[in-house]
């Protein structure tokens, strides 16, 4: 008997989570449809390894141009793909940027979710299509309870969080009003080598790797005291899938239950790259100073990258505070309690905080080495006809 394949539609497939989720679902045998935005440059780098030529027969990854701000386009894509599962990961996901583009953020993150849910309803797919909404620990904002659970009251602190609050409740509302299998995953921060370069973890590993190879002098950061519950995106996308495989729809906190400061992240990432960073001064004057360097070879992807610290010395200030990265209203501390996800879904994060930092630091070291080699060696086009 021929088993029919499950079909999923991922909005935000070109983002960090979209890339990991697409890979996971393809490995599970799904046909995966993804929505990508039209851009003036290629924007599919994170999923290029999964790409299948449109001329290939039986291809299981199909990309559609689309945008969460365009309802007719969403209706057409859902009609064409007839998904069993929709994962709504698309969003203007940068908290600080949302203060600069609040209306766009509300349009994409809040109304975009409504447009998808309405599209499902307009097409009469309420009982066929399951819906996952990428909700966020930013909903807790000014935290009312520690640790945060599914019942902790929300107190959003940014236009991003306010938009996501609407998306959270409209998902619950469509579940209750139309009996849809619609769920929220309230995910705490999750990172990886695929993380966008302007989120703090990736900004740190990328900058420290470049400092270690003499490509950059200093890393400027905002609030070093911010505390986050950081997990690995690869672990978290598995939870998204598990949430939609249950018999009944529900909302779940996904977190590690462990908290670290931005400063601790810097210290650990520095250590991974052979740089001991000591902290001195306070507030705006606080600085991260190189207190020790350990030249060594770091194994990355089967290669050994030599670290001889030609461009950096003990005593150099490599981290400084720049108030431009402060937010008008900050989320100082987040710590999740994933007990419900663990008990109900049997979920356990597999990748520890030190392992996450190590993977990101090593990945960015490889990238920095590529840039450094190009800078040192230059690029010459050979004349094959000589
Ligand atoms: P990214 O910023 O890496 O990816 C966002 C994706 O959304 C990209 O594919 C982006 O496209 C796409 N996108 C943005 N605006 C639109 C739009 N108007 N129409 C269609 N697509 C759009 O985010 P993450 O992968 O980290 O996060 C995935 C989701 O989970 C987001 O909704 C985020 O808010 C939420 N979330 C993330 C957490 C985290 O720690 N990573 C924690 C909790 C929630 P393009 O590539 O073209 O920019
Ligand atoms: P966050 O992630 O706002 O939690 O949202 P981000 O990495 O941007 O900030 C985390 C904390 O670090 C502080 N910080 C800095 N942040 C950035 N980006 N750049 C800096 O230079 C810097 N210095 C200090 C921030 O103030 C903050 O306290 C992420 C996004 O993925 C959201 O989409 C998601 O919903 C939440 O995580 C959970």
**CATH number, position 22:** 3.40.50.720
Same domain, 155 and 219: no
Same domain, 165 and 216: no
Task: Quote the ligand 1 centre to 137 CA distance (angstroms).
Answer: 15
Residue 332 half-sphere exposure toward CB, CA atoms < 13 A: 5
Would 112 be classed as within a structural domain? yes
- Find out whether the beta carbon of 133 lies less than 6 Å from any atom of ligand 1: no
Residue of 23, 85, 138, 191 marked active site: 138
Nearest atom of ligand 2 to the alpha carbon of 137: 38
Would 232 be classed as within a structural domain? no
Would 341 be classed as within a structural domain? no
CA distances from 77 to 60, 74, 178, 288 (A): 16, 5, 21, 49
Residue 3 half-sphere exposure toward CB, CA atoms < 13 A: 6
Same domain, 125 and 210: no
- Whole-angstrom distance, CA of residue 67 vs CA of residue 72: 10
Would 249 be classed as within a structural domain? no
Active site residue 138: yes
- Sequence-separated (6 or more) residues with CB below 8 Å from residue 212: 273, 274, 275, 307, 309, 312, 365, 368
Token readout for 241 is: 């899938």
Domain that holds residue 178: 7-187
pLDDT number for residue 1: 44
Would 21 be classed as within a structural domain? yes
Q: Identify the DSSP state of 65.
A: E
pLDDT number for residue 2: 47
Between β-strands 219-221 and 317-321, what pairing exists: parallel, antiparallel or unpaired? parallel
- Whole-angstrom distance, CA of residue 49 vs CA of residue 59: 14
Same domain, 28 and 174: yes
Same domain, 167 and 272: no
Q: Which residues of the chain have pLDDT under 70?
A: 1-3, 380-386
Same domain, 277 and 321: yes
Same domain, 210 and 159: no
- Find out whether the beta carbon of 92 lies less than 6 Å from any atom of ligand 1: yes
- Whole-angstrom distance, CA of residue 19 vs CA of residue 15: 6
Active site residue 160: yes
- Find out whether the beta carbon of 69 lies less than 6 Å from any atom of ligand 1: yes
Residue of 136, 205, 256, 267 marked active site: 136
Which of these, 222, 317, 215, 201, lies nearest to 264 by C-alpha position? 201
Same domain, 98 and 217: no
Same domain, 296 and 147: no
Would 1 be classed as within a structural domain? no
ipTM: 0.99
In the beta sheet, which residues pair with residue 276?
292
CA distances from 296 to 148, 271, 299, 306, 370 (A): 41, 12, 10, 6, 18
Closest-lying ligand to the alpha carbon of 235?
Answer: 1
- Whole-angstrom distance, CA of residue 69 vs CA of residue 111: 8
Same domain, 179 and 209: no
Output the domain CATH number for residue 318: 3.90.25.10
Task: Quote the ligand 2 centre to 355 CA distance (angstroms).
Answer: 20
- Find out whether the beta carbon of 12 lies less than 6 Å from any atom of ligand 1: yes
In the beta sheet, which residues pair with residue 260?
228
Same domain, 123 and 16: yes
Would 150 be classed as within a structural domain? yes
- Sequence-separated (6 or more) residues with CB below 8 Å from residue 108: 67, 68, 69, 90, 91, 92, 163
- Whole-angstrom distance, CA of residue 146 vs CA of residue 213: 40
Among left, alpha and beta (phi > 0; psi -120 to 50; other), residue 176 is alpha
Please tell me the pTM assigned to this model.
0.97
Last residue of a domain, one of 132, 156, 187: 187
pLDDT number for residue 305: 87
Task: Quote the ligand 2 centre to 168 CA distance (angstroms).
Answer: 20
- Find out whether the beta carbon of 98 lies less than 6 Å from any atom of ligand 1: no
- Whole-angstrom distance, CA of residue 9 vs CA of residue 84: 8
Residue with tokens 């990355």: 300
Q: Are 201 and 156 in contact (CB under 8 A)?
A: no
Same domain, 37 and 87: yes
Last residue of a domain, one of 187, 215, 237: 187
Among left, alpha and beta (phi > 0; psi -120 to 50; other), residue 29 is left
- Find out whether the beta carbon of 187 lies less than 6 Å from any atom of ligand 1: yes
Task: Quote the ligand 2 centre to 134 CA distance (angstroms).
Answer: 16
- Find out whether the beta carbon of 184 lies less than 6 Å from any atom of ligand 1: no
Would 216 be classed as within a structural domain? yes
Which of these, 285, 278, 287, 269, lies nearest to 212 by C-alpha position? 269
Active site residue 198: no
Last residue of a domain, one of 125, 156, 187: 187
Among left, alpha and beta (phi > 0; psi -120 to 50; other), residue 160 is alpha
Among left, alpha and beta (phi > 0; psi -120 to 50; other), residue 235 is alpha
> Beta-carbon neighbour count of residue 58 at 10 Å?
6
Task: Quote the ligand 1 centre to 196 CA distance (angstroms).
Answer: 9
Which of these, 186, 233, 191, lies nearest to 339 by C-alpha position? 186
Closest-lying ligand to the alpha carbon of 161?
Answer: 2
Alpha helix (H) ranges present in the chain? 16-27, 71-81, 95-100, 102-105, 112-122, 159-178, 200-212, 233-244, 262-272, 339-345, 353-377
Domain count, the chain: 2
CA diameter of the chain: 73
Q: Which helix (H) or strand (E) holds 155?
A: none
- Find out whether the beta carbon of 200 lies less than 6 Å from any atom of ligand 2: yes
């Amino acid at each position: 008997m021929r088993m029919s394949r499950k079909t999923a539609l991922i909005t935000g497939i070109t983002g960090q989570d979209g890339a990991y989720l697409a890979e996971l679902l393809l490995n599970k045998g799904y046909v995966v449809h993804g929505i990508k935005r039209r851009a003036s440059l290629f924007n599919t780098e994170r999923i290029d390894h999964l790409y299948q030529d449109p001329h290939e027969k039986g291809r299981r990854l199909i990309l559609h141009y689309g945008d969460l701000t365009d309802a007719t386009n969403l209706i057409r894509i859902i009609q064409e793909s007839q998904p069993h599962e929709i994962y709504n990961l698309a969003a203007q996901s940068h908290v600080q940027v949302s203060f600069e583009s609040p209306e766009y953020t509300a349009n994409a993150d809040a109304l975009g979710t409504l447009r998808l849910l309405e599209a499902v309803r307009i097409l009469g797919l309420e009982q066929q299509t399951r819906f996952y909404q990428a909700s966020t620990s930013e909903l807790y904002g000014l935290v009312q309870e520690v640790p945060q659970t599914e019942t902790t009251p929300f107190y959003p602190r940014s236009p991003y969080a306010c938009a996501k609050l609407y998306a959270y409740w409209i998902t619950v509302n469509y579940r209750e009003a139309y009996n849809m299998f619609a769920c929220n995953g309230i995910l705490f921060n999750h990172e990886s080598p695929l993380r966008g370069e302007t989120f703090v973890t990736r900004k740190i590993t990328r900058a420290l790797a470049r400092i270690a190879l003499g490509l950059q002098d200093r890393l400027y950061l905002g609030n070093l005291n911010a505390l986050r519950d950081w997990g690995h995106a690869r672990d978290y996308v598995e939870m998204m899938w598990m949430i939609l495989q249950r018999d009944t729809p529900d909302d779940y906190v996904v977190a590690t239950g462990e908290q670290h400061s931005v400063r601790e992240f810097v210290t650990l990432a520095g250590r991974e790259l052979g740089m001991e960073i000591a902290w001195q001064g306070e507030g705006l004057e606080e600085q991260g100073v190189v207190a020790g360097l350990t030249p060594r070879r770091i194994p990355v992807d089967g290669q050994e990258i030599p670290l001889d610290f030609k461009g950096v010395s003990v005593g150099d200030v490599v981290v400084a505070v720049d108030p431009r990265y402060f937010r008008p209203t900050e989320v100082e501390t987040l710590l999740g309690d994933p007990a419900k996800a663990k008990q109900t879904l049997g979920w356990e994060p597999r990748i520890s905080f030190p392992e996450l930092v190590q993977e990101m630091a090593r990945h960015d070291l490889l990238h920095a080495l590529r840039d450094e080699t190009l800078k040192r060696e230059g690029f010459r086009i050979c004349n094959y006809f000589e």
